[in-house]
Structure 1
């Protein structure tokens, strides 16, 4: 029989006690650990001297576990700060009026060369472009924070409808200043640029001949002499005057036009005819004629690299347009204008044709559709911040805005 070496009884007794010693040691360490992180009576965590000399000399954090019995203001300040939401949700309705900015007026004598107070008005100006005052909105901080690059500039067609509800022909405006200042407060515009200066050019009122509206001529298709004269007037007369009088950035990349309905066509016309002076156009519920569609389709090279925004509303059986909207444009001053509640539906085909023309010419643009959107200032005020963010805030829009590229 082979002989086995037996462990002495004393050793066997010691080994039998080893688990007990280990358990006691672990318990002791655990108690010391708990004492090290135990909050004091003042609610602040305390670290004892043993907290740095035990546990293999690893310093124990003084921050308590996340599960605390009661909230503690001091403990919350020590936690990592999470990204916070904006102070207010950026959504309409936006504030009415200049919103802390300054509105100035340029006399018609400085632009049209005509004093409207005189009885004998220039015949050419009377026949081609009716003299009218132009308003300039200087954003808050314009005088206090001069910028080396100067302010970008936005030229607005139908400028009387842009900012003040009381001045709009429907009693509602785009609330443009409210949207711009709110975008600036939320830092959704390019932070290296100041807020833009807004040039509000009112549309011509009255008839050239019975039934022929002056506005329809000035904002008409690009082969109309009146629309060509208007585009040249904005680019060659108004823009140099604004750049000379105010602290602007005159480069095309900082100069844009915006308009709704026929004002959208006028904005696109301005961009096509003076691409060397303008960097983009926003067209809300635009109406496009065949001549401007042909020019974009056949010679759209000048639009490449520009910022172009299109949108359209209309009834698509998803949201029915209220019949009450018939009265939106029936005012004593503009009885000629029947309710435009239906017009966005009618214009959908023209917007589709413009998109196809730009696709054919290889022009990039942004497009968004608003089912049920009406053709009036109230509807445009609900979405005015979206084209403004695109023109002045960078290349991206919300995910539901279509980019053709």
Structure 2
């Protein structure tokens, strides 16, 4: 079952659509459920809502699995480069190297975006639905992986399970590595990290993507006991590729 509603984000002074997946038995039981927060919410459930016409189809997967969780998808801001702004707490020093057509500074609103989730959205979800308040996770792809990793560093006792899929760590590589090094991640129960071998058009860029995530994994693996880094052969950088490994990602997070 899917519900959606608009929320005013106080920390960013803008509105946003939130989509909530509820387990099939939600209305017929009194059970409480773990909650997984995910970014790019419009791309998670239905192809017709997705930016590029293909979604993760997470609701289809969960409807046919034994995993009972609530998934909260927060739509991305697709106005200009606002998605990049919200999904990184730092202004990128490397974005213009990879995308010379971008002339303006991007990034820098990630702190406020995560504060919205922790201070406003999570309390709202916990009031509105039957949740297991202490069993909260976060997952995202590309820039969503970067902001999920940042959230784990800043709120490790809130987001105890994290999946960072096809992560765009290169956007703020030095900053996220430094933050990870100084963060206490001992409260995390699971950290899933992956990258495809066909994420970028050029071979040199593909190798850069892999090394970018590998550097993060080298830090995280010494801080989180239940941690994995997987290189997915042939996987591209899109929702179809992420859809194909939804079951694997969720199984690792909730095993």
In the alignment, is the contact (CA less than 8 A) between 1:104 and 1:135 conserved in 2? yes
TM superposition shift of 1:183: 2.5
Matches of 1:303 and 1:347, distance apart in 2: 27
The match for 1:313 is: 196
Q: Which of 190, 208, 215 is 2:83 aligned to?
A: 215
Structure-2 change in CA distance of 1:362 and 1:202 (3 Å): closer
Q: Secondary structure at the match of 2:115?
A: helix
Q: Which of 72, 79, 89 is 1:206 aligned to?
A: 79
Give the alignment's TM-score, normalised by structure 2.
0.85
Aligned: 1:286 with 2:167: yes
Aligned: 1:141 with 2:14: no
Q: Secondary structure at the match of 1:256?
A: strand
Map 1:338-349; keep pairs closer than 5 Å. 341=201, 345-349=207-211
Aligned: 1:273 with 2:154: yes
- Greater relative contact order structure (CA < 8 Å, 6+ sep): 2
The match for 1:175 is: 57
Deviations along 1:301-343, whole A, 9 cap, x unmatched?
Answer: 224543100111024xxxxx8xxxxxxxxxxxxxxxxxx6556
Structure-2 change in CA distance of 1:244 and 1:154 (3 Å): same
Matches of 2:246 and 2:148, distance apart in 1: 15
Q: Which of 208, 214, 220 is 1:352 aligned to?
A: 214
Matches of 1:204 and 1:220, distance apart in 2: 13
The match for 1:104 is: 3
Structure-2 change in CA distance of 1:141 and 1:341 (3 Å): farther
Q: Secondary structure at the match of 2:64?
A: helix
Give the root-mean-square deviation of aligned CA atoms: 2.1
The match for 2:39 is: 157
Structure-2 change in CA distance of 1:266 and 1:356 (3 Å): same
Matches of 1:376 and 1:296, distance apart in 2: 26
TM superposition shift of 1:358: 1.7
In the alignment, is the contact (CA less than 8 A) between 1:174 and 1:377 conserved in 2? yes
Deviations along 1:254-275, whole A, 9 cap, x unmatched?
Answer: 2111100000111111111112
Q: Secondary structure at the match of 2:110?
A: helix
In the alignment, is the contact (CA less than 8 A) between 2:89 and 2:108 conserved in 1? no
Name the count of aligned residue pairs: 235
Give the alignment's TM-score, normalised by structure 1.
0.54
Larger Rg: 1
TM superposition shift of 1:276: 2.1
Which structure's residues are more often strand, by fraction? 2
**Which runs of 5 or more residues in structure 2 are unaligned?**
92-106
